[in-house]
């Protein structure tokens, strides 16, 4: 199948369907300037994400973990959604039944206008009280010599980023909502994920097994692209706008 035929087949599958699940990973935000998890450019002061995004790292040195998240939040704030995020936001209006399940915490999907979404791994736009669980917006920047650890307005407990860390359980209902969408979907559009993190990858493969048409957008081959009906091989910031044009041409 050549690239043009792949785009046409993907557009036709989206055009015919009424129930759609979109699953995204770090690759969709690469063209916005945010490095992927498993690609180059992920280090901060010599630490890898796996060494900072854990409950153990937070217990051992909460100030370091907060400084890292404050740095990331500032970095993300300087980035803007790209054409790929924008197409996914527009796509949701075409389906009576639609869900975007993202593994990204960068907040670019909601900034692009996505509303019917579940952020499987949380979001850098919020923080949560360790004691009472209250959610509050991510804090304003502090000076380098100030305490970087915010306190809860209600109970004065220590706040943490509202992000799912390595080794933690998914929050109740989050995965279930995405699994429900995967079970019902007629078409699943996967964008920019290596498929190496199991529950999210399983959503796509399970939907395919249940009969959904599976589209994968990724410059590289993955377990998901191997199972896909159509693999759109290239950067999502370029290919999703082309897919959108094909879809509009169908009606």
- Count CB atoms within 10 A of the CB of residue 219: 15
Q: 31 is written with which tokens?
A: 């063209």
Q: Which stretch binds ligand OAD (CB under 6 A): 63-71, 150-158, 172-180, 193-201?
A: 193-201
25 touches ligand OAD (CB under 6 A): yes
* Parallel, antiparallel or unpaired: strands 230-232 and 213-217: parallel
DSSP assigned state of 28: G
Min. distance of Cβ 238 from ligand OAD in angstroms?
8
- Please choose, from the candidates 137, 133, 135, 106, the residue with its C-alpha nearest in 3D space to the C-alpha of residue 121: 106
Is 231 marked active-site? no
Nearer to ligand OAD, 37 or 69 (CB): 37
Instruction: State the number of binding residues for ligand OAD (CB under 6 A).
Output: 26
Report the distance separating Cα 226 and Cα 224, nearest Å. 5
Write down the catalytic residue from 85, 109, 121, 231.
121
Nearer to ligand OAD, 152 or 162 (CB): 162
Quickly list H helices, 78-210. 83-91, 108-112, 174-184, 198-209
61 touches ligand OAD (CB under 6 A): no
* DSSP element (H, E) containing 17: none
Nearer to ligand OAD, 16 or 38 (CB): 38
Q: Which stretch binds ligand OAD (CB under 6 A): 12-20, 85-93, 128-136, 190-198?
A: 190-198
236 touches ligand OAD (CB under 6 A): yes
Min. distance of Cβ 31 from ligand OAD in angstroms?
5
81 touches ligand OAD (CB under 6 A): no
Min. distance of Cβ 195 from ligand OAD in angstroms?
7
What's the chain's length in residues? 251
Q: Which stretch binds ligand OAD (CB under 6 A): 30-38, 62-70, 154-162, 171-179?
A: 30-38
54 touches ligand OAD (CB under 6 A): no
Contact between residue 223 and residue 195 where contact means Cβ atoms under 8 Å apart: yes
Report the distance separating Cα 185 and Cα 98, nearest Å. 8
Contact between residue 52 and residue 68 where contact means Cβ atoms under 8 Å apart: yes
- Count CB atoms within 10 A of the CB of residue 19: 17
Min. distance of Cβ 47 from ligand OAD in angstroms?
14
Cβ neighbours of residue 83 closer than 8 Å, sequence gap 6 or more: 31, 237, 238, 240, 241
The residues annotated with a catalytic role in the active site are: 121
Task: Note the residues at the interface with ligand OAD (CB under 6 A).
Answer: 25-28, 30-31, 36-39, 53, 103, 121, 164, 192-194, 196-197, 217-220, 222, 235-236
């Amino acid at each position: 199948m050549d690239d043009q035929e792949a785009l046409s087949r993907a557009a036709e599958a989206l055009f015919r369907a009424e129930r759609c699940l979109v699953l995204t990973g770090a690759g969709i935000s690469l063209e916005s300037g945010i490095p992927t998890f498993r690609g180059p450019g992920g280090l901060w002061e010599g630490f890898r994400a796996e060494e900072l995004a854990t409950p153990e790292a937070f217990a051992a040195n909460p100030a370091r973990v907060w400084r890292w998240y404050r740095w990331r939040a500032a970095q993300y704030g300087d980035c803007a959604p790209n054409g790929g995020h924008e197409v996914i936001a527009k796509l949701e209006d075409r389906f009576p039944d639609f869900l975007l399940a993202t593994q990204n915490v960068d907040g670019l999907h909601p900034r692009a206008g996505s509303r019917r979404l579940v952020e499987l791994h949380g979001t850098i736009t919020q923080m949560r009280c360790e004691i009472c669980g209250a959610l509050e917006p991510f804090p304003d920047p502090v000076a380098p010599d100030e305490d970087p650890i915010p306190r809860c307005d209600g109970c004065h407990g220590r706040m943490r980023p509202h992000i799912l860390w390595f080794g933690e359980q998914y929050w109740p209902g989050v995965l279930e909502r995405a699994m429900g969408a995967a079970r019902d979907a007629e078409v699943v559009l996967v964008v920019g994920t290596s498929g190496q993190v199991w529950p999210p990858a399983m959503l796509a493969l399970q939907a395919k097994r249940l009969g959904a048409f599976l589209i994968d957008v990724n410059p590289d081959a993955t377990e998901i692209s191997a199972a896909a009906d159509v693999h759109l091989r290239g950067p999502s910031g370029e290919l999703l706008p082309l897919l959108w044009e094909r879809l509009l041409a169908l009606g």
